Amino acid sequence: MMDTQRLILFIVFSFSILMLWDAWQRENRPPAPVAQQGAPATTTAPGSAAVPTPSATTPAVAPGAPGAQGVPTDTRSAGATREPIRVTTDLFVADIDPVGGDLVRLQLLKHKDPVETARDFVLFTPDFHYAAQSGLIGTGLPTHKTPFAYDGPKEVKLADGQDAVAVTLTAPGPDGVKVSKTLTFRRGSYLIDVTQSVANPGQSPVAAHAYFQLTRDSKAPPGDSFMLQTYTGAALYNDKDKYVKLSFSDIEKGKVPYTKEADNGWAAMVQHYFVSAVLPPAGTPREFYTRRIGDNVYSAGVIIPLAVPAGGDATVTVPVYAGPQEQDNLKVIAPGLDLVVDYGWLTVIAAPLFWVLKLLYGWLGNWGLAIIGLTVLIKLVFFPLSAASYKSMAKMKLLAPRLTKLKEQYGDDRVKMNQAMMEMYKTEKVNPFGGCLPILVQIPVFIALYWVLLGSVELRQAPFYGWIKDLSMPDPFFILPALMMGSMIVQTKMSPTPPDPVQAKVMMIMPFVFGVMFFFFPAGLVLYWLVNNILSIAQQWQIQRMIESQAAAAKR
C-alpha cells in the first residue's frame, strides 16, 4: 500500500512531469505555417502591415478603402532609414515612426531586461515586429502606412514639473481634408492617448472609420526558459464574452470565438509580465478583429466609426496601455484588464494567495520574507490536517516491524498478507490512508502558488538576500534546491519504511529526483517548499515523539 509520503511524492512528481512535457511541447512546437499560394501578399514590417477592413455589418466605406485600389502605401523601401521622434518621460523612452505615426519602440525605464539586467526592458521593438498602429479607413484617408508631416523637435522630453507631453503629426486627405494624429504621454502613467482628428472643409460629409491595432510576431519574449514559458498571444474582452485568449495558431486558423461588435471591451497582446492593450472609452461602438498580416506577424485591434460632417470635424481618442501587469493598476484602468494576469484554473486559490502575499510584503518589505510568512500562515491553516497525517504516519512507523514480519510470514501470497495487514490496522485502530486527504488538499495550494510566483510582475527581479537576486527565476547556484533536497531526505528518514525493499529504495531516491527538478523552479517556490518542509519536520518530530511516548506508556 502507498503511504502518505509516497502519495505526495507521486502527485508532485506527476505535476512536475506534466509541466516539463508542456514546456517541451511549447519549446519544440513548429513555427506557424506560411500562407498558401494564392493568399493576399503581405509584408512583415510593422510599418507596412495590412490595414483592417470593416466587416459587412459595418456601415459601408467608399470605394478605395483599405484592401481596394488607391490605398496609400509606404513610399520608403523596407531598408530605408526612418528617423524616429523620440519621447522621454519618467516611465518611457518611446520612438514614434513618422510613417504612420506609430509607436515602434517602447523602452520601460522602471523594468530591467531579463537577460542583460543592466539594460532597460524594451516592450515594443522591431525585433519582434511589435508596434502600436493606428489609421483611418476611407477614400484617400491616411493609414499607418502613410508618411506624416512633423515640424517639431526630434527629441521630446517631459520636463520637471510638467504633467504631460504630446507629439502631433499631420497628413492630408482628399478634397482638402486635414488629418492629425496626436500621441499624449503623462507623468507616472503607462497609458498613451492616441487621438485621430479629421477636419472636413468640404460641402459633403466624410464617412470614415478609425482603427487601432497591436501587431507582433509569435516569438517568445526574452528570458522565457524551458520551464518558465507562459502565454504569449492576443486577448480580447467584452461584457458578453469576458476574457478570451487567442493564440497565434488560433489567429492563423481564422478562429473567431468572440463577439465582433460591442460598445465595450478592449483588445490586447499579452506576454509574460507585460501587456499592451487598446482601450476605447466605454459606450463607444467598436468592431474587434484579429488577423495574420504577414509571415508570422499578427494583429489584434478595434475599428471605430468616425462620421465627419460637412464643414466640421471629428475626433476619436483611444488610450493605449503598454506596461507591466500590475494587478491593482489594471483593475482601475479598464474592466477585466487585470485578467491578463492569468493563474489558470486555480485562480480562485491563486488570487487570494497573491492578496495575502502582497499584504505581507507591505509589512515586511521583502518578497522573500513575505513568502516565508505566507508559508507559516498556510501551515497554520492546515495544521489540524497535517497533524492527522503525521499521527497516521507515526502509528504506521510503529507498525513497520510487524508489517515486515507479516511479509516474511506470508511470502509471495499477497492476498493473505493484505488480509492480515487490514486485520492489524483494524485491531490497532490505524487508518493507512488517514494522511492522504490532507496532502491532496494542499497540492492545489502548491500549484496555485507556483502560478502566483511565475505570473506576478510584482515578484519579477525581486531580490531576497545574498545570492538570490530574482525570486521569479531559478536559484543560480542551486543552493535552495540542495537544502530542499536535504529536508526531503530527513522527512523520508522520519517516515515509515516500506516492507518492500524495492519500494524502500525508490523512497530514498525520490528526494534526489525532486531536488534536480526543483533546480528549474522559481527560487521563491523552492523557498516556500523548503520552509514548509522545515515546519513539517518540526511538527512531525513532535507528533512522533508524542505517539511513541503514548505507545511506551501503554506497554508499561
CATH at 320: 2.70.98.90
Interatomic CA distance for residues 319 and 191, integer angstroms: 6
Write the DSSP assignment of 232-285 as a string of letters.
Answer: -EEEEEETTTEEEEE-HHHHHTT---S-SEESS-EEEEEETTEEEEE-PPTT--
Burial class (CB in 10 A: 0-12, 13-18, 19+), 459: buried
Under the phi-then-psi rule, with left for phi > 0, alpha for psi from -120 to 50, and beta for the rest, what region is 536? alpha
Bridge partners (DSSP) of residue 236 are: 244, 267
pLDDT of residue 95: 98
Centroid of chain to Cα 406: 53
**What percent of the chain has pLDDT above 90?**
49
Residue 42 domain-assigned (yes or no): no
Distance CA 532, CA 539 (A): 10
On whether residue 545 sits in a domain, the answer given is yes
Query: Quick one: cell of 164?
Result: 504631460
443 near 13, Cβ under 8 Å? no
For residue 219, is pLDDT > 60? Answer: yes
Same domain, 370 and 326: no
* Domain identity same for 427 and 321: no
For residue 29, tell me if it sits in a domain. no
d(CA 8, CA 392) in angstroms, rounded, equals 14
- Residue 289: which of 319, 262, 315 has the closest Cα? 262
pLDDT in tens, 239-263: 999 999 999 999 999 888 899 999 9
57 in a domain, yes or no? no
Q: What is the pTM of this model?
A: 0.79
Give helix 523-555 / helix 479-494 axis angle, nearest 10°.
20
Is residue 184 helix, strand or coil? strand
pLDDT value for 26:
41
Structural domains counted in the chain: 2
Assess whether 323 and 363 both reside in one domain: no
In a domain, 177, yes or no: yes
R_g (Cα) of the chain, nearest Å: 30
Q: Residue 213 and residue 107: Cα distance in Å, rounded? A: 19
Looking at residue 197, its pLDDT comes to 97
Tell me, what's the pLDDT at 189? 97
Residue 55: pLDDT band with limits 50, 70, 90: low
The answer to whether 292 touches 50, Cβ cutoff 8 Å, is no
- Which residue's entry shows cell 497540492? 443
User: Which helix (H) or strand (E) covers residue 316, if one does?
Assistant: strand 313-324
Comparing CA positions, the residue from 34, 90, 39, 40 lying closest to residue 68 is 40
The reply to whether 102 falls in a domain is yes
Other beta carbons within 10 Å of 131:
27
Q: Domain check: are 384 and 522 in the same one? A: yes
* 179 and 297 co-located in one domain: yes
Phi and psi, residue 95, nearest 5°? -110, 125
Q: Which of 320, 342, 364 is the last residue of a domain?
A: 342
Per-residue model confidence as pLDDT tens digits over 68-93: 333 333 333 333 457 899 999 999 99
Residues 336, 363: one domain?
no
How far is Cα 521 from Cα 531, in angstroms, rounded to an integer? Answer: 15
Do residue 322 and residue 354 come from a single domain? no
Query: Do 66 and 298 touch, CB atoms closer than 8 A?
Result: no
User: Contact, 484 vs 510, CB < 8 A?
Assistant: no
Domain hosting residue 366, numbered range: 350-551
Each residue's pLDDT tens digit, 388-429: 666 666 666 667 777 777 777 776 777 777 777 777 777 766
**213: enclosing H helix or E strand:** strand 206-217
Nearby residues of 259 by Cβ (< 8 Å), 6 or more positions away? 238, 240, 241, 288
Give a yes or no: residue 307 inside a domain.
Answer: yes
What's the farthest any 2 CA atoms get from each other in the chain? 109
Same structural domain, 264 and 380: no
Whether 238 is in a domain gets the answer: yes
Q: Same domain for 507 and 440?
A: yes
Q: How confident is the model at residue 330 (pLDDT cuts 50, 70, 90)?
A: very high
From 342, 370, 397, the end of a domain falls on 342
Whether residue 304 is found in the same domain as residue 421: no
Provide the grid cell at 461. Answer: 527581479
The continuous run of DSSP H or E covering 50 comes out as: none
State the sign of the Cα–Cα–Cα–Cα dihedral 357, 355, 463, 533.
positive
What pLDDT, on the 0 to 100 scale, is given for residue 436?
Answer: 61
User: Domain boundary residue among 342, 370, 392?
Assistant: 342
Q: Are strands 85-88 and 92-97 parallel, antiparallel or unpaired?
A: antiparallel
Examine the domain organization and report whether 375 and 495 are in the same domain: yes
The answer on 321 and 375 residing in a single domain is no
472 CB-near residues (< 8 Å, 6+ apart)? 453, 454, 456, 459, 460, 461, 462, 522, 523, 524
